[in-house]
Structure 1
Amino acid sequence: MSSGGTPPELTHFRDGLPRMVDVTDKVATTRTATAEAWVVLPSEARAALLAGTNPKGDPLVVARLGGLAGSKRTADLILLCHPIPVTGADVEVTLEDAGVHVQATVRTTAPTGVEMEALTAATVAALNVYDMLKAASKAIEITGVRLLAKTGGKSGDYRAAP
């Protein structure tokens, strides 16, 4: 509740029913968002990845493709998300000491932001790592999914604390 005791206006609900916010009159501007996810690998999954013995192929390449595809399909998965033109996307998938690190950056020129597209890209890439390595270990964990940065839009720029 706000300090005056009046509940805040819900942007995605009207009269108790869900709705898609109307962005018709908003100005299309250049917007970017970067998100990350981590895939924690048990030793047997890391060993399979390093040895290149995974029968499904290279998990990092497949994860990158999955993340790119996920960025473009976000509105199909996030119920009240606007379908927007993804004008650019980069998905980096790297093996680090802590596990597989996924970082996704998505760009658009639209009247609404791309945070959900970046978060979806990072999450879908992480899920693809799991899928590709699950034969080696079911104890793989996906963690640390978060927005790292965004630019553009009415709310301005954002950068997560390190």
Structure 2
Amino acid sequence: MKLTHINEKGNPKIVNISDKPLTKRVAVAMGEIELSPSTKRLILEGKTKKGAVLQTAIVGGVMGGKRSWEIVPMCHPIPIDGIEIEIEEIEKGFRVIAGAVTTWKTGIEIEAITAVSTTLLTIYDMAKAVERGMVITNIQLLYKSGGKSGVFIKEEWKREIEGILKKL
């Protein structure tokens, strides 16, 4: 398999997408943060020193998704038509699911993954005063559609994928 971001001399390059057609592209990603029950309770009750953790994390996630091209070296700057982020309470902490959509020449998977990552990092940042041992884990792509490679889906997450897709 040939890597598209490596030229014939083995040096990195950004792929030329100028001749690719515009198509609707959608991606959904997820990740989790594990933290103690007491930290989770403080977050849910809005009693951390930094304020509304989950709401701020959603804003941070949207901002991160929009700026993916600035931190991932070979990521194209693309117009983002929408980002939707959900945070749900799970036994060990919180799960973040993010969906992103564009009509453009290249995929939006990195933007969805970056939105998840930035949401999780914001939770960590806002709660680190009460707990430093939080673990960010399980960041992964769940779904993508559009482009010549077609659809990718992790079937075991179909319900969550469909939920976020309805909101995009």
Q: TM-score with structure 1 length normalisation?
A: 0.91
Give the corresponding residue for 2:79: 85
Quote the Cα distance in structure 1 between the aligned partners of 2:46 and 2:25: 38
Deviations 1:41-68 (A, max 9, x none): 1133123213321010011001100110
Give the corresponding residue for 1:5: none
Give the corresponding residue for 1:98: 92
Aligned length: 155
Deviation at 1:92, TM superposition (A): 0.9
Deviation at 1:161, TM superposition (A): 4.0
Quote the Cα distance in structure 2 between the aligned partners of 1:71 and 1:11: 23
SS of residue paired to 1:67: helix
- Bigger shift: 24-33 or 40-49? 40-49
Matched, 1:132 2:122: no
Deviation at 1:152, TM superposition (A): 0.7
Given the alignment, which residue of 86, 108, 113 partners 1:114?
Answer: 108
Q: Is the 8 A contact 1:60 1:94 kept in 2?
A: no
SS of residue paired to 1:12: coil
Give the corresponding residue for 1:30: 24
Q: Is the 8 A contact 1:48 1:136 kept in 2?
A: no
Give the corresponding residue for 1:3: none
Give the corresponding residue for 1:11: 4
Quote the Cα distance in structure 1 between the aligned partners of 2:52 and 2:28: 24
Give the corresponding residue for 1:152: 146
SS of residue paired to 1:91: strand
SS of residue paired to 2:44: helix
Quote the Cα distance in structure 2 between the aligned partners of 1:26 and 1:62: 36
Q: TM-score with structure 2 length normalisation?
A: 0.88
Q: Is the 8 A contact 1:88 1:107 kept in 2?
A: yes
Structure 2 residue ranges without an equivalent (≥5): 157-168
Q: Is the 8 A contact 2:144 2:153 kept in 1?
A: yes
Quote the Cα distance in structure 1 between the aligned partners of 2:137 and 2:29: 12
- Bigger shift: 54-63 or 39-48? 39-48
- Bigger shift: 41-50 or 30-39? 41-50
**RMSD, aligned CA:** 1.1
Give the corresponding residue for 2:161: none
Give every structure 1 segment of 4 or more consecutive aligned residues whose post-TM-superposition deviation is greater than 4 Å.
none
Matched, 1:65 2:59: yes
Larger Rg: 1
